[in-house]
A = this chain, B = another copy of it.
Amino acid sequence: MATTTAAEIRARRKAEYNAFLAVCPSHKMLERISGKWVMLLLSALGSGPDCTGGPRPMRYSELSRLLAGVSQKMLTQTLRALERDGLVTRTVTPTVPVTVSYEITELGLSLHQMMRGLKVWAEAHTDEVAANQAAYDTATGCPLSG
């Protein structure tokens, strides 16, 4: 019965690993930016509505229109998360009805700049990846390549 074996040991190693992942800066950052609307919002607030200008404060409704597919729930939720991280600020003006504007912070802007690298890589290698996928698919016989 001295069965402190296999399953238990694996379970412990897994717990330790999850604990490590929970504090790993890179991993946390990846989770932070992985949300469907995170980069879109940072991009809108960091480069303006046309994605070619500079940072500019925007209102809730303006963001809602710009990110055409976003639900109110996700827009609010994502903005709150960004605000909590200090990547954007939220300013309420007590007009009637109330006016709220969101603005990217310096920290948020630095992240936005950082992500440009990813954008460059993505655009440079999209074709190559697509070709690899196509080759893999025909070789594996996935689609109607019969």
Contacts and interface: CB of A to CB of B under 8 A. Distances in A.
Chain A contact residues: over half helix, strand or loop, or mixed?
Answer: helix
A71 to B, nearest CB: 9
A107 interface: yes
Contacts of A126: 25, 28-29
Nearest to A137: B84
A133 B84 contact: yes
A117 interface: yes
B14 A69 contact: yes
Interface string A124-137: 01101101110111
Given A27-B39, A84-B133, 7 more contacts: A14-B69, A25-B126, A26-B118, A86-B132, A107-B128, A110-B121, A111-B121
The 6 A-B pairs with the shortest beta carbon distances in the complex, nearest first, are A86-B132, A29-B122, A17-B68, A25-B122, A14-B69, A34-B34
